[in-house]
Every structure is written in structure tokens, then in C-alpha cells.
A and B are shown apart, each in its own frame.
Chain A
Amino acid sequence: MKGSQAIIKSLTDEGVDVVFGYPGGVLLPLYDVIYDSDLKHILVRHEQCAAHAADGYARASGKVGVCIGTSGPGATNLVTGIATAYMDSAPIVALAGQVGTSLIGNDAFQEVDTIGMTMPISKHNYQAMDSSEIPQIIRSSFYIARTGRPGPVVVDLPKDVQEGELDYPENITIDLPGYKPTKKGHPLQVKKAAEMILNSKKPVILAGGGVIHSDSSEELQHVSELIGAPVTTTLMGKGCFPEDHSLSLGMLGMHGRVASNMIVDECDCLIAVGCRFSDRTTGDVSKFAPNAKIIHIDVDPAEIGKNVAVDLPIVGDAKIILSHLVRVISQTKGQGKPDWVDYVKSFRASCMPRLSFDDTPLKPQQVIKEISEAVTDDTIVTTDVGQNQMWMAHYFTSRNPRKFISSGGLGTMGFGFPAAMGAKVAMPDNDVVAVCGDGGFLMVCQDLATVKEYDIPVVVCVLDNRYLGMVAQWQKLFYDERISQTKLKAMPDFVKLAEAFGVNAYRVERPGEMKEKLQEALKSGEPTLIDVMIDPNEILPMVPPGCGLTEIVGEYKVERENPSEITYRPSAQETGGD
């Protein structure tokens, strides 16, 4: 068979049923096979959206997402999406066309060094130099993308390699002597961790995206309830623990909940699972969890000790390690910490953020409250990057894993909408809502044509304040309110813009309308845009860069005005400790 046929056969054998792509000159052989293949191809309107859609597909389903772009500009347009997936450990395989092998290095038309370019932003990459290599390369790419710490893999496919003949092997063996991810945690380390937890008085769990990748939400909740440890999450971990659970503290970090930041500051044992202690999560590391012994569970040994000094590392798969931890701890008496749990619960209640505002223009808190009311536990929400993202991360209550999708590490504006498109394709039975800002959405609005053409019924909520809000917020707080290039003076009428693509659209301006229109849009089963006019002056309280997590600036509006001061008073039994 031909190389191009082998590519499609390999994809099908990996269980791929849909790819997001954009054709081009060197991809003609591949697209000629796609023409009458069973593989569903979704033609995006910009390669960056293909990569983000594959990413959203992967994060929502846990399967590997696939995107395709041609050589040169096709590949450079994929780059942002590949880097986004890399930073957030999303498993995608990106297929890039390349000029014929005889032309490589000649600066041929639409030639770019895709391998060199994607080396630092992919888990691995391959250039097929002979058609016979295709089956093995694609099999290995999927294996690398989804195992260990997941990540993107790039496959560079020169045109003549797609055209060449090969005998498709019956058995493909994966031969990767340099790649053996550790799964099972070291039993002695697990035992030590159990002892450390049992000897602590004020344990807290910090859960990251690794909990979602390893599908260990149940195990996490089990550990939390067993030892009486409240759970805070990173942005990537949001949803891995139900945020309406009485032990949930919400997100930690620069834009974290007050309860999270304060309780982490106070805890004496921090159990970090599947997170990488990013600067946005820790604030100034020298002031991070100053009283705590830190246990770090992660599948990637390089994350241990990279950003924060760790007292007890356990390398391996979170699911295996957490269930092992449950077994060890269950055998011991007195594992609960009722006084700590009571204290955490009342402290948490004292600083729940206020969500209800009847102001016009709309407060983002009110908008997010109405979004929360309009969606179900099965709804997948994606966010863009900036204030819209942090408002969602801060105020939206997420209850299930893989239901909150956001570009955390790279912080890619324009991610939310195409990621929602990919998520909806992966999970057609779940409602999918993208919450974007006006700036970020405008970067990818051309893909309204894609959701229209393929009838992908996502609902895009554009939080419209005519500002690049997050940067403007920093200018207001730290640069003497010098609003430099962050006011979007001319913007399209988003309702008309959507209508120009044949997509339904509404405008929302007053309290109550968001919930109503969102429900209507979800019910319609058609792609819809909702332009939400919000207050441009709303600022989310934050921890300034270089500060500790407790040094929050900005007015934090709480739900209930301050009750009497809450302090941790352990009973005699709990102070007895070990």
C-alpha cells in the first residue's frame, strides 16, 4: 500500500475516528486517501484551531486527539496548539506535511524545520524518511502521547514518503528502550507518606491535572475523607474533586480562593498529587506552605524538586499510589482529624466569595453564577485566557473531572472556542460551553464557520468588556493605571458577526438573562454565540507576582459579612498527635 494509506490505516488501528485538519500542497497524497476513507475529517479554518480542537478532544475524552497541518505555514500555525498541549500534558498527535525528502534543506516552497521547531514543545517528534517507517512511527507516537506524563507528539511526513509503497507489517512492536515510565510508587515511600500524614495535625491535599490524567478522582476523594484533609486544586486540577464538597477549598494560587491560600499557608502537611508547583500556583516559593512537610506524588520524576523542595517524593501513577495509600492508612487507627476538619469548614464558610450582584452592566460574578445554574454536572466548560478564565476558575463550581478545560501553562488566548469544538466532537452527548473574552475569541472567530458546517452545537459566551482585561488589570494595579494598548476601541458587533457565519446569537445585558439565554441555546442543539456585556471595571483580587499566597490585593467580596474570628483549636485528643 502507499504511505498515505498506511497513515490512515495506522490512525484507524489506533481507534481514531475523527481528525481536525487543513490540507495543503504536500498533503495532497494524504488528503486523496481521506477523500474516500471512513475517517471523519473536520476542516477547521485555521491550523491553530485544529491543534486546540485535538487538545480539547483529548482533555474531554482522555483519548488521543489528532490534528493535521501542511508543511511550512501549516506547521508553524500548529505550533501554538502543540505548545499549549505540551504545557498542560494533553495527549495529541500532530501530523505535519513536509516537502519531499530530496528538497529538505533547500529552502523549498513551504519548507520549514518542523522537527527543530517542535523539539522543545513536544514530548517527542518523528520525521518519517521512508514509507516503511510509517506504521511503527504512528504506533509509537500514540503510545508516547498517552502513556506516562501525556503530551503531544509530532510526526513530520514528507510528500514522497506519503507516496511511496510499503508492505504494512502484521505485527508492529514498539521498541523504545529509552522510554519506560514508572507506574507503581515505591512501597517504602508510600509507607513513609502514610506515617507523615498520620503524624500531621493539619493536612491539606493539593491536586493537579495529573489526578485527571490518571483518572484517580475517586481515590483522591477517598484519601481526603479518610484522613480529614481539605482539597485545593491547581487550575489544571479543577473538577478532579467536587467543589461543592465540604472539604473542597477551591483553586489555589495567584487568583486562588482566599480559603485555599490561607489554609495552605497554615497546613503542616501538604500532599501534592499530579501537579508541578507552577509559579501561578505557589506565589513566592520561599513563602509557600511555610509550615508544611511536602509529599509530592507525580509520574514525572523531573517535576520532583524542580520548583519546590519536597520532603517525600513518590514517583508513579497517581491512581496506583493513592489506592495504595488508602490501603496503608486504612489499617491504622485514628487517621481522621475532626477538629481540623471543623475548623477548615467554618473558615471556608467565612470567606466564600459573593456571587450575586444585580448591577448593570453585569458583574462577571453574576454571569458565572447564572452559567452555573444553567448547566448540569455533565456539561463541559472551556475557558479562554485572561480575566474570563480566572473568573471561571475562581467562581465557577466544577464537580467532575474532564469538565473544566483551560489553557493553564501556556495561557493561550484563543484556546477556549476551538477546544470546546473538539470537546463537543469527542463527547456529543454532553453540553459544551466556551467562556471567552472578547479579545481571545476574536483571534479564532473564523472557526464559527467550522461549527456551522459540521453542526457542532457549542455555546460560546463572550464576556465582552472591550478590554484585554487581565493585562489592563495589571496596568491598573501595578502600572499607575496607564492603560497601554489594552483598550479595544473598535470591535465587531459579535451578534452580527455570528449571524454572518449563519450561527445563532444573542446579546445579554441584564441580570437573569444569561441563565435564560444559555438554557435556550443549549436546548436548541445548535451552535450559538452569546455576547455578554460585562462591567469593564471589575477586578479579581490577586496575589501580586513575587508575593506569598496570603498577600492578596484588591477587595475580596465575600458572601456573608464577617462573623466572629475563626481559629483552629485542637482538642486534647488531636494535640496528643502521634
Chain B
Amino acid sequence: MDEQRSHIISALVMHRPGVLQRVAGLFTRRGFNIDSITVGPSEQDGLARMTIISRGDDKVLEQITKQLNKIIEVIKVRDLNADGTVTRELCLIKTHTPSERARSEIMQYANIFRGRIVDVGPENLTLEITGTPEKIDALIDILRGFGIKEIARTGPTAISRGSKTM
């Protein structure tokens, strides 16, 4: 019961101004943890899907789900089971790489991680990588040795596996 776990909460919400504030405000006010939140249009017109990564025990998770459901503009809420879920995050990494050798090494790592070089300058490279947050963490760790100038991560978004929808 008291075990703290990371949860992926997927919520279908009205695509209106202020909804993100309602959701974020709820987390702050009730002291719920929020690791990341992503929002974008969903398959239905006028509705958006939010993916929230939160940590807490079962009781906290139950409260998060119930409190989210109380928001009038929230249509559906689901706690996605990590095993039955595809989770992806996009990350852009700008490195400081004046040396030729470092550049070719980075390009090799990018290949291994199925990343792409999306911008090149005389002293920098920018990589794009998509994957699970763990995979992105691993690439960042490797690139730190070369000198990272900036990182921009979207935060994970998720969808359940199989034909079932929420």
C-alpha cells in the first residue's frame, strides 16, 4: 500500500483554454507529485489527451484519478499499466563539439540509438532521439563526456498496447 511507484495517467480532456491550469492546479493544491505532463490534440475533435507521469502509493493514485475525474472538463482518466503501454519521449540535445573526432563519435552513437542529427554548426551538433525515457537517459549519459550545451525533452506520452482504447 505504501509503496511509491511511478504511474502513467492518461486523461482525455476538453481542448479548451484553462484546462491545463485546472489539472496542474489540482496537483499543486492536493500535494500530488507531478514528474511530467504532455498535452496534444486527440483522435476526436475538441478533445485533447494529457499524459501525466506521477509518483505515489496506491492511495495517492486513487485520489489523483478520482480528483481528476471531478474536473468538469476532464472526460476520462486511466492509469496505464506500464507493461501494457507504449511510452515514448522526444529529446533534442545540443552538444559542444569543435573537434572533428568527437563529431564522428557522436554520429556513431546517434546511429546506435537510432537518433538523427538535425542541426550542424561549426562548433555544435544537435541530435534528435525518440524512445523510452530510460533510453534517452542512457544517450544523455554518454554525451555528457562530450559537453552538452542544452537539452529539451518533451516528457513521455503514452498509449495502451493492443486494440483496446480507454
Q: Is the CB of B72 within 8 A of A124?
A: yes
Interface residue ranges of B109-145 to A (CB < 8 Å): none
Shortest beta-carbon distance from A147 to chain B in Å: 11
Shortest beta-carbon distance from A376 to chain B in Å: 39
Q: Which residue of A lies closest to B12 (CB)?
A: A178
CB of B101 within 8 A of chain A?
A: no
Contacts of A306 in B (CB 8 A): 63
Q: Is the CB of A144 within 8 A of B72?
A: yes
Q: Is the CB of A302 within 8 A of B63?
A: yes
Q: A302–B60 Cα gap in the complex (Å)?
A: 11
From A112-120, A244-252, A255-263, give the one contacting chain B: A112-120
CB of B87 within 8 A of chain A?
A: no
Kindly name the residue among B18, B21, B62, B72 whose own CB sees the greatest number of chain A CB atoms within 10 A: B72
Shortest beta-carbon distance from A419 to chain B in Å: 26
Shortest beta-carbon distance from A277 to chain B in Å: 14
The one of B29, B59, B69, B74 that contacts A305, using a Cβ cutoff of 8 Å? B59
Q: Is the CB of B18 within 8 A of A178?
A: no
Q: Which residue of B lies closest to A144 (CB)?
A: B72
Shortest beta-carbon distance from B141 to chain A in Å: 39
CB of A177 within 8 A of chain B?
A: yes
Q: A178–B23 Cα gap in the complex (Å)?
A: 14
CB of B82 within 8 A of chain A?
A: no
CB of B164 within 8 A of chain A?
A: no
Contacts of B62 in A (CB 8 A): 305
Q: Which residue of A lies closest to B74 (CB)?
A: A178
Kindly name the residue among A120, A178, A179, A304 whose own CB sees the greatest number of chain B CB atoms within 10 A: A178
CB of A572 within 8 A of chain B?
A: no
Q: A116–B26 Cα gap in the complex (Å)?
A: 12
Number of A interface residues at 8 Å Cβ cutoff, please give it.
Answer: 18
Q: A115–B21 Cα gap in the complex (Å)?
A: 10
Contacts of A144 in B (CB 8 A): 72
Q: A144–B74 Cα gap in the complex (Å)?
A: 14
Contacts of A119 in B (CB 8 A): 18, 21-22, 25
Q: Is the CB of B72 within 8 A of A176?
A: yes
Q: Which residue of A lies closest to B28 (CB)?
A: A120
Contacts of A305 in B (CB 8 A): 59, 62-63
Contacts of A300 in B (CB 8 A): 70
CB of B67 within 8 A of chain A?
A: yes
Q: Is the CB of A302 within 8 A of B59?
A: no
Contacts of A177 in B (CB 8 A): 14, 75
Q: A423–B21 Cα gap in the complex (Å)?
A: 35
Interface residue ranges of B14-51 to A (CB < 8 Å): 14, 18, 21-22, 25-26, 29
CB of A336 within 8 A of chain B?
A: no
From known contacts A116-B21, A119-B25, infer whether A302 and B67 are also in contact, taking CB-CB under 8 Å: yes
Interface residue ranges of A122-171 to B (CB < 8 Å): 123-124, 127, 144
The one of A115, A120, A127, A178 that contacts B72, using a Cβ cutoff of 8 Å? A178
Q: A179–B22 Cα gap in the complex (Å)?
A: 15
Q: Is the CB of B25 within 8 A of A178?
A: no
CB of A511 within 8 A of chain B?
A: no
Q: Is the CB of B29 within 8 A of A120?
A: yes
Q: Is the CB of A178 within 8 A of B75?
A: yes
Contacts of B79 in A (CB 8 A): none
From known contacts A119-B22, A144-B72, infer whether A178 and B66 are also in contact, taking CB-CB under 8 Å: no
Contacts of B75 in A (CB 8 A): 177-178
Kindly name the residue among A116, A124, A177, A301 whose own CB sees the greatest number of chain B CB atoms within 10 A: A177
CB of B151 within 8 A of chain A?
A: no
What 1/0 flags go to A293-314 for Cβ under 8 Å of B?
0000000111011100000000
Q: Is the CB of A301 within 8 A of B66?
A: yes
Q: Is the CB of A178 within 8 A of B67?
A: no
What are 30 A-B residue pairs whose CB atoms fall within 8 Å in the complex? A115-B18, A116-B21, A119-B18, A119-B25, A120-B25, A120-B26, A120-B29, A123-B72, A124-B72, A144-B72, A176-B72, A177-B75, A178-B13, A178-B71, A178-B72, A178-B73, A178-B74, A178-B75, A179-B72, A300-B70, A301-B66, A301-B69, A302-B67, A302-B69, A302-B70, A304-B66, A305-B59, A305-B62, A305-B63, A306-B63
